[in-house]
Copies of this chain bind each other. A is one copy, B any other.
Amino acid sequence: MQRLASVFEKRSLGALLAVVCLVGVPTMANAANKEAKKDNTVWVDPFIGTGGDGHTFPGAVVPFGMVQLSPDTAALSRGVDPQHEIYKHCAGYHYDDHTIIGFSHTHFSGTGHSDLGDLLIMPGTGKVHTKPGTEEDPDSGYRSRFSHDREQASPGYYMVELDDYQIKAELTTTTRTGLHKYTFNGEKDGHVVMDLTSSIYNFKNKVVWSDVRVIDNQTLLAYRSTNGWAKHREMYFAIKFSRPFDRIELINEDNARYRCNGCLDAGKSNKPSTIVNDAIQFTAGKDIKVVAHFDDAKQAPLLVKVGLSAVSRSNALENLTTELPDWNFERVRAEAKEQWRDKLNVIDAEGTKAEKRQLYTSLYHALQAPSVYQDVNGEYRGVDGEIHKATDFQHYTLFSLWDTYRALHPLLTYVAPEKVSDMIQSMLVHYQQSYDDMLPIWSFHAHETWTMIGYHAVSVIADAYLKGIRDFDHELALKAMLDTANNPKYDAIPEYIKYGYVPMDKLSESVSITLEYAYDDFTIARFAEALGEQKIADEFYRRALSYKNVFDPSVGFMRGKDSKGGWNPAFDPEEAKLMGPFTEGNSYQYTFYVPHDAQELIKLIGGDKAFEQRLDTLFEKELSHEKIKEHEDIAGLIGQYAHGNEPSHHIAYMYNDAGKPWRTQERIRQIMDTLSSDKPDGLAGNDDVGQMSAWYIFSAMGFYPVAPGNLSYSIGAPQLPKISLNLAKNKTFTVEAKGLSKANKYIKSVNLNGKTLQRSYITHDDIQQGGVLTFEMSDKPNKTWGSALEHRPPSMSR
């Protein structure tokens, strides 16, 4: 996999090299040479997750690409749709919808909050609309009806027929550009609307400023800054048409005002002693649309290519001309697919079509972010808002760390190891550039959103380092971890340090924060220990025990505690309230959040039996909507277990810690059968930038990183007959599930490289060295395997 990927790695990393490569080499021929190679892209269905609350997008993207060119089906930034709709449309598109408003160039994959949707482009014929119109009355705007029957998506490619206009729209991308192909099959007159006001966010005044300039009759440059989830996010665009437009309209609703420099009365249209150059095609304001007209749109397909940059117009243009020097849509599409084919070859799998569709689509979703956030010349915008240049690493953005530290980042150490050090370096420059001396929390596009809790970047760094991915400055990393974990201005850290827990009378979400800090501290301890900094390690191992301070033995639950040591009198372990002691969860779920020290948690709860019972209660006690109504994110329920949200993700594996691996095996199958499918609504909740997908991939293989940083994977049960991980250095780690069937969901025995495995976990070394992990499956549980204390997954205090 590594060798095959190399040609495309160069494309991302070396701009000029890429030009030579694209222009000078007959790449289609190269692709032909690789024809024999397996093609896992056929198993990817980008529509999985676009229904329900998966929040994925169906459009075109390359692995870790800066551009996600995808259809949008809701006009959210205008306040046209009610609040309720924004959560449904975090990715711009929802499978339930019947109209498309256009194609925009940036999208989150699977988030629970929204932003992006930059530069919406929509082709049309006939009457020109400059507003999107409504889903109920599509003819009132530029949007078009469409049908899933005439819609296709595959890695690097999206196609839809816009029924209202008889236009076939196709999309593909490179890392930093989007390429549109519009085939007009209806009327002769065609036009392309570019709506700079369109955006994904629940705020109609999201656009802070924008401008557009006509460079020539095929080229535009545009800018927009928005106030969304990220405040004052800046994006520059270079737009080129494959042939000259016959005329262009720059429509500025602020026109009267901005056209009249000298007017003291904004309403007047006269121009006292002041010339506004009408012939110079530039406009700026907050409400800009551009319409390019093509009198004979039918003569040939019209292509539009768009380069993006967060740095400058000139960089957007350089990105465009470097990555898309010509107009060969099919070649670009083929190269995008080729990048995916190489990347998806990291896993070989056997299974049903539905299983392979789920697995490879999960892998596809897992390889989208963190995404490139750097121009071909090396420049990028830092979290300080300033322009920096990285010469020795690729700069990435989009760290949804509360979600992705759990399984996505551990997965990337196997499926994209060559990216991991660069992602860590990107987090370290974030720390260096942060005025707050902080590693990223939930950051994207040069902004820290301070969303969610914890400081989970430390887990990602520790896990990678301990696995031997070390191409970054270790001392800097330790300093960054310590500055972050001791930051007197960040969230609940002062209270956490002072009290050993976060008092509920001081801050909300106090219990969840305490628990997550404690886990994060465990990973800092592990990292410091590996660097030989034992004193620091000891301190953080001590902090890692802080979870004990919010455990109330009188009720056997994690429970809010005030600064005087009093327990929350209104305690209800099922309740998940905004501003309560838990983060998008309740005490049933969060009581299990001691991933690094499960054996100690079991003792607190009262031993293996009590622990198992509590797990059973979690999975069996119905959770009424009333208790969680304030949270959209708590979804995918099995009892109190919410598969659709991250605090639950590790819990099914904790039967292992109580010596009951067969119960884990049952639960994993139960989750797989009831909360996961290969349909658009096949995700039980937000994919959360690949975390849900990473859960699926690990769990399908039969193991899961319950506590990243301890280098172990708790064994669940394989869900496909055979999955091989093609690792670096030509190693392969293969998981075989002999006898796997609907009935045979239990593990009879496990064999690693020919030796019986007694423990209910494997280690990173087991995987990294390559080999074969063979499961004998059965319809009857093996109740002794993995039950002995010494065979259970590692626990810090043990």
Look across to chain B and name the residue whose beta carbon is closest to the beta carbon of A282. Answer: B435
Which A residues between 534 and 587 are near B, CB-CB below 8 angstroms?
578-579, 583-584
Decide if A670 is an interface residue (CB 8 Å cutoff): no
Q: Give, as a whole number of angstroms, the nearest-CB distance from A288 to chain B.
A: 12
Contact assessment for B508 and A271 in the assembled complex, using a CB-CB cutoff below 8 Å: yes
Contact assessment for A271 and B209 in the assembled complex, using a CB-CB cutoff below 8 Å: no
Decide if A136 is an interface residue (CB 8 Å cutoff): no
Residues of B within 8 A of A453 (CB): 273, 275
Residues of B within 8 A of A274 (CB): 113, 449-452
Q: How far is the CA of A206 from the CA of B776 in the complex (A)?
A: 71
Contact pattern, A 474-501, Cβ under 8 Å of B = 1, otherwise 0: 0000000000000011110010000000
A-B contact pairs, 13 of them (CB 8 A): A87-B264, A113-B262, A209-B232, A261-B451, A270-B579, A272-B630, A273-B452, A273-B583, A275-B453, A276-B450, A279-B488, A279-B490, A312-B387
Decide if A743 is an interface residue (CB 8 Å cutoff): no
Decide if A225 is an interface residue (CB 8 Å cutoff): yes
With A211-B232, A435-B213 already in contact, the answer to whether A631 and B272 are too (CB < 8 A) is yes
Contact assessment for A385 and B312 in the assembled complex, using a CB-CB cutoff below 8 Å: yes
Decide if A612 is an interface residue (CB 8 Å cutoff): no
- A residues lining the B interface (CB < 8 Å): 83, 86-87, 113, 202-203, 208-209, 211, 213, 215, 221, 223, 225, 227, 229, 231-232, 258, 261-262, 264-266, 270-277, 279-282, 284-285, 312-314, 384-387, 435-436, 441, 449-453, 488-491, 494, 508-509, 578-579, 583-584, 630-631, 633
Lowest 9 A-B CB distances belong to which pairs? A279-B489, A272-B578, A273-B584, A231-B284, A280-B489, A312-B386, A274-B451, A275-B491, A208-B209
Residues of B within 8 A of A451 (CB): 261-262, 273-275
Determine which of B215, B261, B630 lies in contact with A450 in the assembled complex, contact meaning CB atoms within 8 Å: B261
Determine which of B384, B452, B631 lies in contact with A275 in the assembled complex, contact meaning CB atoms within 8 Å: B452
Q: How far is the CA of A1 from the CA of B587 in the complex (A)?
A: 80
Look across to chain B and name the residue whose beta carbon is closest to the beta carbon of A202. Answer: B264
With A264-B83, A275-B509 already in contact, the answer to whether A384 and B209 are too (CB < 8 A) is no
State the majority secondary structure of interface residues on A.
Answer: loop
Q: Give, as a whole number of angstroms, the nearest-CB distance from A581 to chain B.
A: 12
Residues of B within 8 A of A449 (CB): 261, 274
Contact assessment for A225 and B213 in the assembled complex, using a CB-CB cutoff below 8 Å: no
Residues of B within 8 A of A262 (CB): 113, 451
Q: How far is the CA of A758 from the CA of B313 in the complex (A)?
A: 59
Q: How far is the CA of A639 from the CA of B451 in the complex (A)?
A: 69
Contact assessment for A273 and B213 in the assembled complex, using a CB-CB cutoff below 8 Å: no
Q: Give, as a whole number of angstroms, the nearest-CB distance from A575 to chain B.
A: 14
Q: How far is the CA of A261 from the CA of B213 in the complex (A)?
A: 33
Q: How far is the CA of A386 from the CA of B384 in the complex (A)?
A: 17
With A87-B264, A284-B232 already in contact, the answer to whether A384 and B435 are too (CB < 8 A) is no
Residues of B within 8 A of A270 (CB): 578-579
Residues of B within 8 A of A215 (CB): 435
Determine which of B276, B314, B450 lies in contact with A277 in the assembled complex, contact meaning CB atoms within 8 Å: B450
Q: Give, as a whole number of angstroms, the nearest-CB distance from A211 to chain B.
A: 7
Residues of B within 8 A of A280 (CB): 436, 450, 489-490
With A451-B275, A490-B277 already in contact, the answer to whether A385 and B313 are too (CB < 8 A) is yes
Q: How far is the CA of A385 from the CA of B385 in the complex (A)?
A: 15
Look across to chain B and name the residue whose beta carbon is closest to the beta carbon of A441. Answer: B275
Contact assessment for A231 and B258 in the assembled complex, using a CB-CB cutoff below 8 Å: yes
With A270-B579, A275-B452, A312-B386 already in contact, the answer to whether A225 and B202 are too (CB < 8 A) is no
Q: How far is the CA of A232 from the CA of B285 in the complex (A)?
A: 9
With A232-B211, A490-B277 already in contact, the answer to whether A384 and B314 are too (CB < 8 A) is yes
Contact assessment for A491 and B631 in the assembled complex, using a CB-CB cutoff below 8 Å: no
Residues of B within 8 A of A203 (CB): 266
Residues of B within 8 A of A633 (CB): 273
Residues of B within 8 A of A508 (CB): 271
Residues of B within 8 A of A227 (CB): 209, 284-285
Look across to chain B and name the residue whose beta carbon is closest to the beta carbon of A492. Answer: B275
Q: How far is the CA of A631 from the CA of B274 in the complex (A)?
A: 12
Look across to chain B and name the residue whose beta carbon is closest to the beta carbon of A223. Answer: B385
Residues of B within 8 A of A229 (CB): 261
Q: How far is the CA of A630 from the CA of B271 in the complex (A)?
A: 11
Q: How far is the CA of A223 from the CA of B225 in the complex (A)?
A: 14
